[in-house]
Amino acid sequence: MIRETFQQDSRVLAAFTAMVFIGGTNFVAVRLSDRGLAPLYGAGIRFLGAAVLLYLYVALRGIALPTRAQLKGTLLYGVLGFAASYAFAYLALVSLSSGVAAVIMGSVPLITLLLAVAHGVERFRLRGLVGATIAIAGIIILVGAPTKAHIPVGSLFLMLGAAFSASESGIVLKKYPTGHPMATNALAMAVGGILLLGLSLVSGEHWSLPAGPATWASLTYLVLLGSIGLFALFLFALKRWTASRVSYMFVLTPIIASILGAALAGESVTAATIVGGIIVLFGVYVGALSRSSSPEPRLARAKEQAARA
């Protein structure tokens, strides 16, 4: 019994470690993708490719597609969680470093908590306000970082838009009924991919095949591991750990993103970037991830939804 428990915990820990690594690497992969493909176009073909593969999996497993009653929530999830969030993120990562982008996206658990209060889904908690205040202080430090840190304010706000869109998509999943997670994400990714390509077309972006091994590698990685692989690992971990425990990946991915960004994308890391990032992530911990700010009913609902996978 003890041996089985240890083996199961080891598998979950391995899955969690892989999630952190893939999540951090995603930011660098998007930056490399942006160098070879127009941002919105690159995001669009990424999610259309992932959607096709997920649909094949859904069909082979005989998983039911979302019903008419579940369609509204699924479509909203696609618009917010994939089209809006990744439009902002891909545009921001043209000039924003991977580490800073990961720090901003690391605030998603806290933003989700605050939006849940605004929507009446959660009760107001003082820890949420305190955490938000700390995180804002960290963002101010990031904005005021030296010029050599390459943190354009416009790109920072685009990344905040990505974080808010992703957080709002989480509220949609709480408020509206959705189907099986795999089928829901297949449709949502397809919606997001189509909208992203539409935005790319309207904005006049140039469409072309990836023009080099680095671009091909980053796009392939983002479709297979960065989208489908990360989602599968997330479901695996969420079935076996609490939602708050799994959410710690958000405060660990910036470490991977910063290291790989410096090694692979030539990004600089300054003291102000490190200090501001630590303060932001500490605010996320205080407001959204500490034990008293993660009530059991919310965790139970998240685990119940994941168990349908």
Choose between 49 and 135: higher pLDDT.
49
Positive or negative torsion for Cα 138, 39, 233, 117:
positive
Kindly give, in sequence order, each residue whose CB lies less than 8 Å from that of residue 282, ignoring residues fewer than 6 positions away: 134, 138
* pLDDT surpassing 90 at residue 174: no
pLDDT of residue 132: 84
Tens of pLDDT, residues 199-229: 999 999 999 998 889 999 999 999 999 999 9
Q: Where are the alpha helices (DSSP H) in the chain?
A: 2-36, 39-61, 68-78, 85-92, 98-105, 108-118, 126-143, 153-175, 181-202, 213-223, 230-240, 243-246, 249-264, 271-284, 296-306
Residues 97, 117: Cα–Cα separation, whole Å = 31
pLDDT reported for residue 300? 42
* Contact between residue 23 and residue 241 where contact means Cβ atoms under 8 Å apart: no
Q: Is the pLDDT of residue 256 over 50?
A: yes
Query: Cα(234)–Cα(120) distance, rounded to whole angstroms?
Result: 26
217 burial level (CB within 10 Å; 0-12, 13-18, 19+): middle
At 200, list the tokens: 């790319």
For the chain, the domains span 14-306
Quickly state the pLDDT bin for 75 (edges 50, 70, 90): very high
**pLDDT interval class at 25 (50, 70, 90):** very high
The pLDDT score that the predictor gives to residue 290 is: 73
Mean pLDDT on 37-56: 97
Confidence (pTM): 0.84
